[in-house]
A and B are shown apart, each in its own frame.
Chain A
Amino acid sequence: MANEKKEKAPILASKKVKIIILVCVAIIAFFGGKEFWELRHFKEVFVASDELTEVKWLSDYLPELKNSWFDTPIYVFDSGVEGGSVFIMGNVHPYEPASSITCYVMLENIHVECGKVFIMPQGNYSGSTMGSTGGAYPKFVTVKTEWGEQKYRIGARESNPLDQWPDPFTYVHYPSGQNLAYQDIRNMNRTYPGRADGTPTEMASYAIMELLRKEKIDIAIDIHEASIMYPVVGTYVAPDKSLSIAGYAAMSLSEYFNMKFEASPKSLRGLSHREWGDYSQALPFLMETPEPFIDRITGPITEEFMLEGKDEFLAKAAEKGLTYVPYDIEEGQPMWYRVGRHLSGAAEAIAWTSYFYPDIVVEVEWPLFEDIQANGLGYYLHDPDAPENASKVQVVYHKPAAYDRTYQDLEAAFKQ
């Protein structure tokens, strides 16, 4: 190795070249840092349905989370009519944005006839504030609407290391003691039931468990997306106590699309579909929709790919029978389709639970798969800048924040 150093071409040894390299690195670091800052501090907004009754925070269930990047808003819609309660969570894996967009469509259009609904669009807020290292994802995904564009972030699978670092060389799950890959210590869907005095991710998981217990949640829905080469794609996953309901819901959905259902493995710990059921009274349902974007053998990573889900390499893999859902490159797996699946998937899980357990009935409405198919996704997203919506705009951040209209206006002007 020493010989290699000695033989190095003079070009790298020259002072001038070193200075040029340093300047280049400084410029890249500045512009790269600017983008990291933008992703960290971007605030998603939505126009809340008229039926919003209360905004709670995850820190209401574990005060230690207050002012941390794990705190996140929870929107409550209480019909005032006695019934069951539902908890719906998106973006616990923030690189699965169809899950948070599903929540936003619900939040903007929900009508609750009976019971109470809690919606948390950013399950792991910390994880949404960074890109996925190794994934090379774009920062944002934009949904076109009649009034313009609505922008959502594409985050990572795990919590941001700025908020929880370092990782151990292996992650030991609490309380089972099961060994998992080291990075799973920042994966909120591996840290349930969590600990009040554990790592920040474990604390956030614990707060969610507290929410389920204190609010006496009857139905708990965890929305995800999965790569199409992953066997559990396009599936409900549920423990024994809610598995048959998932089965009925899946059958109902077959009118529109294929949805499988699968039992939550008892030996794999830390996941919502296992621990939510074991450590609370809730009936858990985890839903996965096909997201080719997060497959590992894809072509170039672009925002268009995230939106349309079309990829030649995956088509080739599908030809060879390596995908777990049918995949046609002409149709892809577009965002509207994935969001539509989740909207109907959640609605069916609630409807069938209400059917089997009339004492915890929840009657709720929001746009379904067929509505999104007919009208498009943007149709159900409202303009936060429209005067009539001014009082209904909600900002999703890790602490209360006002809607920064100036910023949005400036950006729009810049684009024009």
Chain B
Amino acid sequence: MSTYLITTILFVIMVAVFVICSMKLKSPEISMAITGVVGALVGFFLIDGMDFPVRILVEGLFINLDLAISFICASIFVNMYSYSGAMTAVTRKLVGTFNNKWILLTFMAIFMLIPGALTGAGSISVFVMGGLVATVVRYMGVSEKKTAAFVFIFAILSAACPPINLWTMIITAQCNMPYVGFTWLLSVPIAIVGIFTIIFLGWGSKRAPKEQILAELPEAPEKMNIIRILLPLVVVIGLILLTLYAAFDVPVIGLPLTFLIGTVVVIICNPVKRTFKEYFKVINDTMEQVFPLVATVLSVGVLQESMTQIGVKGLIGVTFITMPMILIFVFVLFFAAFAQGSLSYGSAIIIGAPLVFMYNTMGFDTTIACAALSLMFPIGDCLPPSRITGRLTCETVGYKGSYMSFLKQVAIPCLVLGAIALVMFIHPAWFKFLK
């Protein structure tokens, strides 16, 4: 049997297993893990010289382990912050200070952009700011569905936003390109899409009177003051900035420890004395809340490793990049987004790097092509099977509608982002002024 035939059979089997498991078990995480295991086992029997996949499957769990630990620690920080009453106090202060809906939405957009821009992970933006932003946006009269869309769109824009864009960094690392010249190439499209999103989602909503909002909001603890509110955020953002701008003078502590230090500061700043048992309950509840997401990112790793070992990842990649150029232009947006949904940051490796190499051969501008692709990948963060940022957004903002209705709501801003990226990809020369 040819490699094409074997890998196609394996691909079909994996898709079938995923669909059946999803229907029967109603658990995307377990369905992904089972799909990975079945793919690897069938591959073992079909392909000569394949190792028994036990180590490979365990190795897959480690692909996103750091991400999972970051999710857990960020969630603990945010939930502790909310538990201290600081989140309520911030919301009350913002609503009380600004009367204009558009100014508040703009502030919320900027708040969402900062954590992701500094860490490269939109999910961190959702964790750190999602709850607060959703509360304020809702009070601006924006519907539940649109609020979820607002948080999601700015989360993916934050991931693409400089200074840290992980897709760009991965592609440049694969292609031995310096990570320079991307600031405006990424910022300008993000600004355009951001403004569009604020207008698109905020249009038609009617802000309730300030007094009514403040009356509905829970009261902040009595002794909560500006220092207690800001200090935990300042510590977390300060540690992140130190990692970036004083990298040679501070040890590498990683995001998980950064958030845990922030949590300790939250506890110190809490004006209400709480018992260990009470804090332990918050941590316990957080683990319950974040568990499905942790399971998702770990399962994606197992699936990804299995797809790599049996050649299914290669099949998807080679099918796409060997298409005629015109078809690549037609399908790049679709492929990039779905690759992100399946392989997370692996998408930048299997599709991003080969396309940038291809552009290099054709004499096109690789920096602009790389930026364009890095704006397409984030769209896939709401797509199955992983849909990490999408699911996280729905959970964080408490969106109760169907996931499909959420997808429909984010579709238009995503398409605007995709369209700009696509034009950059097809006509890189038009964007040289941004380099």
Contacts and interface: CB of A to CB of B under 8 A. Distances in A.
A181 interface: yes
Given A8-B27, A297-B317, A317-B321, A174 B248 contact: yes
Interface stretch (B83-91, B198-206, B307-315, B375-383): B307-315
B177 A170 contact: no
A358 interface: no
B49 A304 contact: yes
Given A1-B292, A35-B55, A317-B322, A299 B314 contact: yes
Contacts of A5: 292
B301 to A, nearest CB: 8
A166 B25 contact: no
B20 interface: no
Contacts of B4: 312-313
Given A296-B349, A299-B7, A170 B244 contact: yes
A175 B163 contact: no
Interface stretch (B208-216, B218-226, B250-258, B418-426): B250-258
Nearest to B354: A229
A303 to B, nearest CB: 6
B141 interface: no
A202 to B, nearest CB: 10
Interface stretch (A53-61, A117-125, A127-135): A127-135
Contact of A300 (B30, B47, B354): B47
Interface of A: 1-5, 7-9, 11-12, 28-29, 31-33, 35-36, 131, 133-136, 138-139, 161, 165-170, 172, 174-175, 177-185, 195, 198-199, 229-232, 265, 267-269, 296-305, 311-313, 316-317, 319-322, 324
22 contacts: A11-B25, A12-B30, A131-B59, A134-B346, A136-B309, A139-B55, A166-B254, A169-B119, A179-B179, A181-B172, A181-B179, A184-B173, A195-B248, A267-B180, A299-B311, A301-B308, A302-B48, A312-B2, A312-B4, A317-B354, A322-B358, A324-B357
A291 to B, nearest CB: 14
A9 B244 contact: no
B76 to A, nearest CB: 16
B370 to A, nearest CB: 12
A contact patch SS: loop
B405 interface: no
Interface string B230-253: 000000000010011001100011
Contact of A168 (B57, B121, B176, B252): B252
Interface of B: 2-4, 6-7, 24-27, 30, 43, 47-51, 54-60, 62-63, 66, 118-121, 163-164, 166, 169-170, 172-180, 240, 243-244, 247-248, 252-257, 292, 301, 304-306, 308-311, 313-315, 317-318, 321-322, 346, 349-350, 353-354, 357-358, 360-361, 391, 394-395, 400
A184 B169 CA distance: 10
A166 B156 CA distance: 24
Given A168-B247, A181-B169, A322-B321, A296 B292 contact: no
Nearest to A157: B173
A313 B49 contact: no
A320 B322 contact: yes
Contact of A179 (B25, B66, B163): B163
Contacts of B120: 169-170, 182
Nearest to A36: B55
Given A131-B59, A170-B120, A178-B180, 15 more contacts: A131-B56, A134-B349, A161-B62, A166-B254, A172-B247, A172-B248, A179-B163, A180-B179, A199-B252, A229-B357, A296-B174, A299-B314, A300-B311, A317-B322, A324-B357
B169 A300 contact: no
Contacts of A32: 54-55, 57-59
Nearest to A195: B248
A131 B61 CA distance: 13
Contact of B51 (A138, A170, A230, A317): A138
A135 B4 CA distance: 20
Contacts of A184: 173
Given A300-B311, A313-B318, A231 B357 contact: yes
A212 B179 CA distance: 28
A31 B252 contact: no
A298 B361 CA distance: 20
Contacts of B358: 322
A332 to B, nearest CB: 13
B55 A7 contact: no
A257 to B, nearest CB: 21
A213 to B, nearest CB: 21
A312 B3 contact: yes
B172 A303 contact: no
A305 B173 CA distance: 25
A70 to B, nearest CB: 16
A237 to B, nearest CB: 9
A321 B2 CA distance: 21
A267 B322 contact: no
Contacts of B253: 166
A162 B43 CA distance: 30
